[in-house]
Amino acid sequence: MRAAGGGQNLTTSIVEDLGIAIVTGRYHAANPFPVEGDLCLQYEASRSVVREAVKMLTAKGLLKARPRQGTWVQPESAWNLLDPDVLRWTLERKFSLRLLIEFTQVRLGVEPAAAALAAKEAGPAEKARINVAIERMIAAERGDDDPLTSDIAFHASILRASGNPFFAQLCELIETALRFSIRRTNFYKGVRLASVYDHKVVSDAILAGDADTAETAMRALIQEALDLMLTADAGDDPLIEALPAGA
């Protein structure tokens, strides 16, 4: 099997293939992780490319390597779920509403605070990006923009406007979770997009410098999505149909 591309593209392709293989349980005690030479043959890649791929997977918490002892798959408890690739592979392995709930709980702890900070710290450029994002959401409601990408842009603009680099680092992670949530909820009839009005309450508060309202509105926005997920997780399937495609 030859992974597509060359150089860095080849490394990325190997990481993707091996990452999925690890997360889906292809490697275990009876089928241990391949040695370097076997991986080179499998992907028709140089040792340097394979080593870089293994290094990247190790950094994601999926592998552990020691000189002269080999490389083995780490238990799931060691995986870095804050890595967007690991989150995506885990979500794609088997749909897990529970994992989405747990990640939304993280968002509930972060995004309201980010909105409050954005109201206090955002400068003209950051406020302009937030305004563009909410205008895109309004356009998407008319059918003139993409609902998913505009929703993601809205949340990312607020995380970045907070001025907190740790919050900004979560942008890609939130994009991963939102994209999966949209794709999953599209299987159900009656899926609705999270209210553009509710998002605009958040943006208006940030643009006005009202930190308390921005925090409260963002908390309500994410809490609504979380409550519906929790109801669905309890086994009341019809309520899954009401799950917002974005929040």
Residue 63, both tokens: 């592998």
Report which of 62, 66, 89 is spatially closest to residue 74, judged by C-alpha positions: 62
Please calculate the CA angle 114-119-125 and round it to the nearest 5 degrees.
100
| Phi/psi at 67 (5° precision) | -55, 130
In this predicted structure, what is the pLDDT of residue 105?
92
Contact 208, 79 (CB under 8 A): no
Higher pLDDT, 181 or 76: 76
What is the identity of the amino acid at 223? Q
Please compute the mean of the pLDDT values over residues 46-71 and round it to a whole number: 92
Higher pLDDT, 205 or 7: 205
Q: What is the pLDDT of residues 155-175, one digit of tens each?
A: 999 999 999 999 998 898 888
- Sign of the Cα torsion 176, 178, 179, 184 reads positive
Cβ-Cβ contacts under 8 Å for 237 (sequence gap 6 or more): none
Higher pLDDT, 239 or 98: 98
Q: What is the pTM of this model?
A: 0.77
Contact 110, 158 (CB under 8 A): no
In this predicted structure, what is the pLDDT of residue 187?
46
Q: Is pLDDT at 3 greater than 90 in this prediction?
A: no
Q: Is pLDDT at 30 greater than 70 in this prediction?
A: yes
Domains observed in the chain = 8-78 (1.10.10.10), 95-242 (1.20.120.530)
Contact 191, 241 (CB under 8 A): yes
In this predicted structure, what is the pLDDT of residue 55?
96
In this predicted structure, what is the pLDDT of residue 236?
54
Higher pLDDT, 240 or 49: 49
Q: Give the distance, in angstroms, between the CA of residue 94 and the centroid of all CA atoms in the same chain.
A: 16
Please compute the mean of the pLDDT values over residues 45-59 and round it to a whole number: 96
Residue linked to tokens 């919050």: 167
In this predicted structure, what is the pLDDT of residue 108?
94
Residue 151, both tokens: 């929703």
Report which of 247, 226, 228 is spatially closest to residue 238, judged by C-alpha positions: 228
What is the identity of the amino acid at 142? R
